[in-house]
Amino acid sequence: MIAANWQIFTGFAFFIIMVFIAGFYCILVTRNLIRVIIGLELLTKAVTLLIIVSGYVTDRIALAQSLVITLIIIEVVVMAVAAGVILSIYRHNESLASSKLTDLKG
């Protein structure tokens, strides 16, 4: 890996880390369950870009693309299941405030 490529990587990583922070912040601070999932989605996008950039910089772009395609399919299924769980919670609680999810303690 030549030095110019490493510069490119650090440049991209700089912005990707910011999206990571936005995603983590969203999960920690929000009080609404759907926003938690949105935060997870943001983190997934950041990781997708990170994999593509790693592949681009080391000349393995085909490998990175196949990894990203698999990753996107799996994440869609996880998000669909999470949306299903949220809908079922809503049907029980009639609200989506995460402060209502306090039954399990200890």
Partner 1 sequence: MTIIDSMLLTAMVVAAIWTVMTRSLLKSAIGLALTSAVITIIMFRLNSPFAAVFELSVCTGLITAVFISTISLVKPLTHKQIVQLSKDRIKRFWYLPATVIVVGIVFIYLKIQMPLSLFAGQAEGNARDVLWNSRQLDLFGQIAVLLAGVFGVVILFKETKKK
Partner 2 sequence: MPSLFILIPIFGIIILNLPLGRLLKRCAFWYAFVLFSLQIILAIFHNPFFWSGALEAISTFFSVKFTIDYLGFLMLLSIGIVCLSSLVVSRYAITDEEERFNFINLLIIASIGMCGIVMVKDIFSLYVFLEVTAVASFILIAFDKGKMALEGAFKYIVLSTIATIMMLSSIALLILVSGGTSFSLIAAALKISGPNIIVSLAVVLFLCALFIKGGVVPFHGWLPDAYSTAPAPASVLLAGIITKVCGIYTLIVLVTSVFGFNEAIGSMFLFVGTLSVLVGAFAALGQNNFNRMLAYSSISQIGYIILGLGTGTALGIAGAAFHIFNHAIFKSQLFVNAAAVRVATGTKNMDDMGGLSAKMPVTGATSVIAMLSTCGVPPMAGFWSKLIIIIALWRSGHFAYGVIAILASLLTLAYMLSMQRRVFFGKVGKGLENVREANFGFSAVSIALSAITIAAGVFFPAIFNKFLMPLAEMFLK
Tokens of 76: 């869609």
- x-or-dash string of contact with partner 1, 54-73, rule CB under 8 A: -xx-xxxxxxxxx-xxx-xx
Cα separation of 71 and 92, whole Å?
32
Using DSSP, state whether 96 is helix, strand or coil.
Answer: coil
Q: Restricting to residues 14-33, name those near partner 1 by CB under 8 A.
A: 14-15, 17-19, 21-23, 25-26, 29, 31-32
Contact in structure between 38 and 26 (CB atoms under 8 Å): yes
Q: What's the min distance (Å) between Cβ of 106 and partner 1?
A: 27
DSSP alpha helix (H) spans, 30-105? 33-57, 61-93
Cα separation of 17 and 21, whole Å?
6
Contact in structure between 38 and 19 (CB atoms under 8 Å): no
Q: What's the min distance (Å) between Cβ of 102 and partner 1?
A: 18
- 48 scored as a contact of partner 1 (CB under 8 A): yes
- The binding site for partner 1 (CB under 8 A) comprises 1, 3, 6-8, 10-12, 14-15, 17-19, 21-23, 25-26, 29, 31-32, 34-35, 37-39, 41-42, 45, 48-49, 52-53, 55-56, 58-66, 68-70, 72-74, 76-77, 79-81, 83-88, 90-91, 94, 96
